[in-house]
């Protein structure tokens, strides 16, 4: 078995031997349900789709993804196991990718476990299941980008609290940057072109496009590239720390 695989398995196991996994899954599922049915006007809208469900995902990830990723490297640095891990025969990117994939698969599992909502909407009406599938895909891709941000920022510090706050901060910026309110706020001071360019960095905009069922290659590339970019930055950070 490759070292990457070994890291992945170890990480995934560590979620489940500590309460992290169960606490996360319970909170994620409960919040997803409550937000969809109460805050999202699931019934009142009278439409058989999961739009209100997916709309909540960025905000759920904002709190829950940093909680998963904060320990990723900070805990290893603090506990001294980083020295053990980095003196075993594996490349830094393998360790990073292994940890990332573990977290991503875990979020994937959380998404799969929301299937009762999908069953409900199919029971109540006849939704376009293609759009719902696209929504799940978009949500999972967005989670990947959030995880990559968290992985990178966890490599920056030995403190899990700092990693959590930094990750949540960057994520909220990336969610808000495309919102009309934010754009209006800056429209007086910044040139229109810059605002439009920055708005394209918005997670929300790309996610909503996919969740509507429109699989545009640009939206997919956005998530793929931002994920890879943040992971690469994390590897670079870890490498710099060895030389500092």
Which residue ranges make up the site for other proteins (CB under 8 A)?
Answer: 1-3, 5-7, 9-10, 13-14, 17-18, 79-84, 86-91, 242-243
What is the closest distance, in whole angstroms, from the C-beta atom of residue 201 to other proteins in the complex? 33
What is the closest distance, in whole angstroms, from the C-beta atom of residue 46 to other proteins in the complex? 48
Q: Which is nearer to other proteins, 9 or 200 (CB)?
A: 9
What is the closest distance, in whole angstroms, from the C-beta atom of residue 151 to other proteins in the complex? 18
Q: Which is nearer to other proteins, 11 or 219 (CB)?
A: 11
What is the closest distance, in whole angstroms, from the C-beta atom of residue 238 to other proteins in the complex? 11
As a whole number of angstroms, the distance between CA 211 and CA 113 comes to 18
Contact 52/40 with Cβ under 8 angstroms?
yes
Contact 157/139 with Cβ under 8 angstroms?
no
3-state secondary structure of 103: helix
Q: At what angle are helices 92-112 and 129-154 packed, to 10 degrees?
A: 140
H helical segments located in 155-216: 160-176, 180-187, 192-199, 203-211
Q: Which is nearer to other proteins, 217 or 243 (CB)?
A: 243
How many CB atoms within 10 Å of residue 40? 19
Q: Which is nearer to other proteins, 39 or 91 (CB)?
A: 91
What is the closest distance, in whole angstroms, from the C-beta atom of residue 110 to other proteins in the complex? 21
3-state secondary structure of 87: coil
Q: 């309110």: which residue's tokens?
A: 181
Smallest CA-to-CA distance from 55 within 68, 69, 66, 45 is with 45
Q: Which is nearer to other proteins, 13 or 200 (CB)?
A: 13
What is the closest distance, in whole angstroms, from the C-beta atom of residue 106 to other proteins in the complex? 16
Q: Which is nearer to other proteins, 205 or 241 (CB)?
A: 241
Non-local (6+) Cβ contacts of 145 within 8 A are 174, 203, 223, 226, 227, 230
């Amino acid at each position: 078995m490759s070292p990457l695989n070994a890291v992945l398995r170890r990480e995934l196991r560590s979620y489940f031997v500590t309460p992290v996994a169960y606490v996360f899954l319970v909170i994620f599922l409960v919040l997803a349900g409550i937000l969809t049915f109460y805050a999202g006007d699931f019934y009142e809208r009278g439409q058989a789709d999961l739009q209100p469900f997916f709309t909540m995902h960025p905000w759920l990830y904002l709190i829950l993804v940093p909680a998963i990723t904060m320990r990723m490297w900070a805990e290893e640095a603090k506990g001294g196991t980083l020295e053990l891990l980095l003196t075993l025969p594996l490349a830094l990117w393998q360790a990073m990718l292994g940890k990332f994939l573990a977290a991503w698969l875990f979020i994937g599992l959380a998404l799969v476990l929301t299937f009762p909502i999908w069953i409900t909407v199919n029971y109540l009406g006849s939704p376009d299941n293609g759009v719902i599938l696209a929504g799940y895909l978009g949500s999972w891709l967005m989670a990947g980008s959030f995880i990559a941000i968290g992985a990178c920022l966890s490599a920056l510090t030995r403190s899990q609290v700092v990693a959590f706050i930094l990750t949540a901060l960057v994520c909220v910026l990336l969610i808000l940057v495309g919102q009309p309110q934010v754009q209006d706020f800056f429209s007086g001071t910044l040139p229109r072109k810059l605002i439009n360019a920055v708005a394209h960095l918005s997670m929300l905009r790309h996610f909503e496009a996919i969740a509507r069922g429109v699989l545009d290659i640009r939206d997919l590339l956005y998530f793929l590239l931002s994920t890879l970019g943040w992971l690469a930055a994390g590897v670079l950070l870890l490498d710099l720390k060895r030389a500092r």
